[in-house]
Every structure is written in C-alpha cells, then in structure tokens.
Amino acid sequence: MKMSHLFSQTLRDAPTEAEVISHSLLMRAGFIRPLGAGIFSYLHLAKRSMMKIEAILRDKMDKIGGQEISMPVIHPASVWKETGRWYQIGSEMGRFKDRNDHDMVLAMTHEEVVADLVRREIQSYKQLPRLVYHIQTKWRDDPRPRAGLIRVREFTMKDSYSLDADWDGLDKQYRAHYQAYFNIYHRCGLPVIAVKSDVGMMGGKLAHEFMYLTPIGEDTLLLCAACGYTANRQVARFKKPVAQEEAPKPVEKVATPDCKSIEDLANFLGGPKSKTAKAVFLMASIPEGEELTEKFIFAILRGDMELNETKLANAVGARDLRPATDEEIRAMGAVPGYASPVGLVVGSLGGSVVVDDIIPASPNLVAGANDEGYHLLNVNYGRDYTADIVADIAAADEDAACPECGAPLKASRGVEVGNIFQLGTRYSDALGCTFLDKDGQQKPVIMGSYGIGVGRLLACAAEEHHDDHGLAWPITIAPFHVHLVLLRGKGTPQAEETADKLYVELQAAGIEVLYDDRDESPGVKFNDADLIGCPIRITVSARALSAGGVEVKLRHKADKVIVPLDETVSGLRSEIAALEAEISAKVLPVDYNSTEN
C-alpha cells in the first residue's frame, strides 16, 4: 500500500474527545473515525489489524474443533421472548418493528439463534458434541460509551457455542476455550488474567472473564498473590472476620440521638462497627413471566461491611436495583436511619428480608428500633427476627482476607476483553433443544457460550504497545510488517528507483509493506511511521545508499543499521521470523482455575 493512495490521514494533535491513549493514538494514526457516540468506522489500517486478529481467532477456534457459521444480525423477537430475555433486558437491547409490525431485535448476542438452530438440527447423541462459532456485528445501546473502542455500542465479536450431551462434555469444551483464549491473547501480544465473574444476563452456573489489567479499566478485580485466587469484585468472596462467641443477651432499647449512620452509632456507643447491623433498602425489578415487578428488599449486613449489589441481585433474582425512597421505607413500617427487621412483617407487604451469611454467626448486634432516635442492643438473628434469604451479599475490598488462603487481597482495575459461560440448559429448556440419548431418552442439550470483542482487543493492544511517539504493534497484528520510507532530496532519482524496486520485491516475497512515497519532509514521514507503529522501518535515502544500502530500524528499538540491498529481503524475513518467535514463546499452557465463587 502506498501512502499517497491511502484513504486516511494522520493527525498532529489528539482529538479533544479522546479520553484514553488508545483512542487518541488510533485516531491520530488514521485507524478509526467516529460516526456517533460509540459508533466507529474502521479505516484501512485498522481493518488490516482486525483481519489479523480475526485470523488468529479462527485458527484457535478451528484447533479446538470449531465450525465457522454465520448468523443474522436481525432477529425476530419471538426467539428472545421464548427465553424471556426480551422482557428481562432493558433499553440496552435494540428493538424495532418491521414493515409487518413484527417485533425485531438487533443482535447483542446469539444464544437464542444458536438454540433455535440446535432444536432444528440436533436429534441424537450421535450429533454431539459440536462447537460452532461466527464473527459478527453486535449492537448494545450502552448509555455511556467511552474510551474509544473500549466501550462502544456497535462492535464485532467472535462468539462460539458448545453443544454437549452431558456436563462432563461441557466442562471439557469450557476448559478448551479457557486455554484457547489465553493462546489468542498471547498471540496478539496482550497479557491477560482470567477471573471468575457474574453470569449476568447470560445465565448459567459458571463464568470467567479475561481481563487486561490497566488503570483505565472499569472493572475492579480482587487478586491474591499468595494462592492465585482471582475474581471480579461483583462476585468475589472473602473470609469474613468471625465474631467472638457470646451467649445471647436480652434486647435493650437505648436512646441514640442523631445516630443515623453506622459511623455515628459506633462512635456514640463506643464500640466497633462490627457489633452493629447495617440496614440497606432497595427496590428490585424482578421478572415475573412477561412483566417486571418491583419488590421491596430489606438487606442486612454487619456494620463493618458494604453491600455488593450484584450478589444481592443474584440472590433475589433481580434485573435491576434502585435505592428505596423514604416513603417506600416508611410504607414497610421501618424508620429511615433507625430501621430494624425486628417486629416487621415485610413479606406480608410484598417485600423480602435478605441477610448476609455472617449475620447468623454475629451475636448481640446493635440494630435500629424503628423509632426515631433509638436503637436496640443485643439483637440476635433467629431469636429476634428471621430472613427470607440468607446469602453472601457483602462486597470484598482490598486487604480483605482471601477466601482460599486468608492472605490480603489486592485490588486492580481491568478491561474485560473476553468471557466464557457454562450456560447449561438455560436456553435448551426454554427453546426445547433436546436429543435422544443411547437409551432413547429425551435429554436437553448442554450449552456453553464464549465471546471476544475484536475492536476492544485491538484497543487494549494499543494501550499495551505504545510509547511517547505513537503505536508500536506486535508483529502478529500490525497492519503491515514494514514501513518503507523514501526520503527525497539530493540523489532522489536513485533513491526513488531503489525504493520502488524494493517495494515490489518485498511484496513478491510475501512481506507486507506500507510505502511512504509522499512528497513530505523527513520529519513528517518519520513521525508518521512512529505514530502508525509498524514493527520495522526501512529508510531509503541518498545518504543510506552512499553508506552501502538501506537503513533498517525496529520500532521498539533506537538502533539503526545499514543493510546491503541484496540482503534486505532475506534480512527482513529473518527479522520478522524472530519477532514472530518472540510472540510464539509467550503462547504457553495455563493452569485452569475451576473453583466456583
């Protein structure tokens, strides 16, 4: 590709809307251009890199038995209604009506479509296991697109779907994806970790996210350096400090003026926050058939802990949670700031009481009295009140004790670059995906779902591989292997003839070349070469020719060497092979962390 013909231009200054370095550099280097919020055009340089990422995805999926298919971007809503997700997913789903007034969906994922194919194609255990995948456009109407390609509304995803006759088969395919995903990221030059995660709208029983650790990430991860435990904060467990054993004491009502917070209460009584019970009130949107019903949730934690809303939402089966208003709290008979589960009959009013699993083992806590300015001492779960649900609903934070070994957990930020889910029979049951087993019995197909966002992977690679001058792509996903720079000036005819000839020879040798043949100054050309970030730069100039050849420089190194013309092609082949070998050396087996949260 000659830069004089390239449908793109570099920008000297960072766009004002660019929030992170990958967004800025991909814009400045002429890779992407915005059309709307979270909607981008991918120009030729980006398209070439993305095609290489997609080739890596295809290679790794094929190696674990994947069959590539293509599924529609537009879905009839009927299949989403069958699984219930039409009613469970909010405004993030792209909905519209066709000319016949039928409800339609813009694809945000393809579990429903795969399940529809399965119920038509799979009849016997002899047709299992299977693995299908595609690389397709998706739409999720994210209310807060940000950071360039990190968080968009339209994107390209590789999603694969495993189909098995039993849970052992699912586990085998899940583990195969686990390793394949590490192979993909390492092949793309991106370091990642796998963390256990919430199954979210996908459903199922087990999920992992693949995280690129970076300060720009929106996810908080809890990591244990001692034993390797990793989890997204949404689902992270921790060893909760056990309360000292005490015999239950009589309940005593005491005046606690102006003590509406746990901090104020602990200070007033002169005791630790761990001896208090924290009340949190939320309204949960819970799917019931085709409707969403709001239900009052009275959550109780120990005062030294914070609520994890994802854990609570999973415990009660909620799609969304919002804080309850003072009016809604009072309607349940509770008093904001002094609320207590003691004496309340929340269930009769359509609500639920949910307590954290450490509460039953925490005796003689201080709780509200449902009376302004008063609290109750020595409240005990089981004797003084009970709950509809007892579950782990507390949030793990940095320095909390690891659930596996007890060492302090450390928090880190990360960007999710892929996920894998054990769906089980969530979609098979909904759409009637069954097969006949060896004994002639109808069984549901066991499914798994696995996704990688192509554009986000590209952006994270840009975050990982850059310097003060621009991008510095790994050889495996660089738009071109070589950036050939022609410097015009004294001796231009010979330099130009040499550069044109070398351009043809490199292409004939299968080496990808971006040829800067423009009539620009050396400074502009070198700056653009650094900005675009191809792994190898070749400079053809009168000075280099007089020194005996062409100048070769690796993007990630400062050294420049003169290579004789007759050795240029072979030398570049060797250099490209060495860069490929460096990447290949990082594609190694990883330990599979199968422990559930």
Which CATH number applies to 21-236+411-463: 3.30.530.20, 3.30.1330.10, 3.40.120.10, 3.30.930.10? 3.30.930.10
The mean per-residue pLDDT over the stretch 450-456 comes to 97
Q: Which amino acid is present at 446?
A: I
Give yes or no for residue 455 having a pLDDT over 50: yes
Residue indicated by tokens 């002429």? 30
- Nearest C-alpha neighbor of 350 from the set 367, 368, 328: 328
Tokens encoding 456: 């986000």
Instruction: Please answer whether residues 503 and 513 qualify as being in contact, where contact means their C-beta atoms are separated by less than 8 angstroms.
Output: yes
Q: What confidence tens digit (pLDDT) does each residue in 169-182 have?
A: 999 999 999 999 99
pLDDT category of residue 491 using cuts at 50, 70 and 90:
low
Give yes or no for residue 576 having a pLDDT over 90: yes
Q: Distance between CA atoms of 275 and 290, rounded to whole angstroms?
A: 43
Give yes or no for residue 495 having a pLDDT over 50: yes
- So what's the pLDDT on residue 596? 47
Sign, Cα dihedral of 257, 263, 267, 270: positive
Give yes or no for residue 561 having a pLDDT over 80: yes
- For residue 172, CA distances in Å to 122, 177, 195, 348, 441 come to 20, 9, 19, 46, 23
Buried b (16+ CB within 10 A) or exposed e, 563-579: bebeebbebbeebbeeb
* Cα-Cα end-to-end distance for the chain: 50
Query: Containing H/E element for 280?
Result: strand 277-288
Give yes or no for residue 594 having a pLDDT over 90: no
Instruction: Please answer whether residues 104 and 98 qualify as being in contact, where contact means their C-beta atoms are separated by less than 8 angstroms.
Output: yes
Instruction: Please answer whether residues 446 and 204 qualify as being in contact, where contact means their C-beta atoms are separated by less than 8 angstroms.
Output: no
- Nearest C-alpha neighbor of 340 from the set 372, 369, 305: 369
pLDDT category of residue 597 using cuts at 50, 70 and 90:
very low
Q: What confidence tens digit (pLDDT) does each residue in 263-319 have?
A: 999 999 999 999 999 999 999 988 777 777 899 999 999 999 999 999 999 999 888
Q: Which amino acid is present at 127?
A: Q
Superfamily for 472-584?
Anticodon-binding domain (3.40.50.800)
Helix boundaries (H) for 89-238: 111-121, 167-187
Give yes or no for residue 593 having a pLDDT over 90: no
- Nearest C-alpha neighbor of 435 from the set 446, 423, 443: 443
Give yes or no for residue 436 having a pLDDT over 70: yes
- For residue 15, CA distances in Å to 45, 124, 151 come to 18, 56, 17
Query: DSSP characters for 480-549?
Result: -SEEEEEPPSTTHHHHHHHHHHHHHHHHHTT--EEEE-SS--HHHHHHHHHHHT-SEEEEE-HHHHHTTS
The percentage of residues in the chain with a pLDDT greater than 70, rounded to a whole number, is 97
Q: Distance between CA atoms of 453 and 151, rounded to whole angstroms?
A: 10
Cis peptide leading into residue 129 (ω within 30°): yes
- So what's the pLDDT on residue 246? 92
> Which residues, 6+ apart, have CB-to-CB distance to 525 below 8 Å?
485, 487, 516, 518
Average predicted confidence (pLDDT) for the chain: 94
> Which residues, 6+ apart, have CB-to-CB distance to 489 below 8 Å?
495, 541, 542
- So what's the pLDDT on residue 537? 98
β partners of residue 208: 196, 420
Tokens encoding 293: 């019903």
The mean per-residue pLDDT over the stretch 410-434 comes to 96
Give yes or no for residue 579 having a pLDDT over 60: yes
Identical fold for domains 21-236+411-463 and 472-584, yes or no, is no
In total, the chain counts a number of residues equal to 597
- For residue 517, CA distances in Å to 480, 541, 546 come to 15, 12, 20
The percentage of residues in the chain with a pLDDT greater than 90, rounded to a whole number, is 86
DSSP three-state, residue 373: coil
Query: Containing H/E element for 46?
Result: helix 44-63
- So what's the pLDDT on residue 89? 87
Q: Distance between CA atoms of 45 and 415, rounded to whole angstroms?
A: 23
pLDDT category of residue 200 using cuts at 50, 70 and 90:
low
Q: Distance between CA atoms of 264 and 507, rounded to whole angstroms?
A: 73
Instruction: Please answer whether residues 376 and 364 qualify as being in contact, where contact means their C-beta atoms are separated by less than 8 angstroms.
Output: no
Where are the chain's structural domains?
21-236+411-463, 252-391, 472-584
pLDDT category of residue 203 using cuts at 50, 70 and 90:
low
- So what's the pLDDT on residue 348? 65
The mean per-residue pLDDT over the stretch 148-177 comes to 97
pLDDT category of residue 343 using cuts at 50, 70 and 90:
confident
Neighbour count for residue 247 (Cβ, 10 Å):
7
Query: Containing H/E element for 306?
Result: none
**β-strands 482-486, 536-540: how paired?**
parallel
Instruction: Please answer whether residues 488 and 539 qualify as being in contact, where contact means their C-beta atoms are separated by less than 8 angstroms.
Output: no
Q: Distance between CA atoms of 100 and 455, rounded to whole angstroms?
A: 35
Instruction: Please answer whether residues 336 and 329 qualify as being in contact, where contact means their C-beta atoms are separated by less than 8 angstroms.
Output: yes
Give yes or no for residue 259 having a pLDDT over 70: yes
Between helix 454-464 and helix 21-28 the angle, nearest 10°, is 100
- Nearest C-alpha neighbor of 311 from the set 142, 426, 197: 197
Radius of gyration of the chain (CA): 30
Which CATH number applies to 252-391: 3.90.960.10, 3.40.50.720, 3.40.50.620, 1.25.50.10? 3.90.960.10
SS3 letters for 496-514?
Answer: HHHHHHHHHHHHHCCCCEE
Which range, of 81-95, 121-135, 199-213, averages the lowest pLDDT? 199-213
Tokens encoding 254: 């005491």
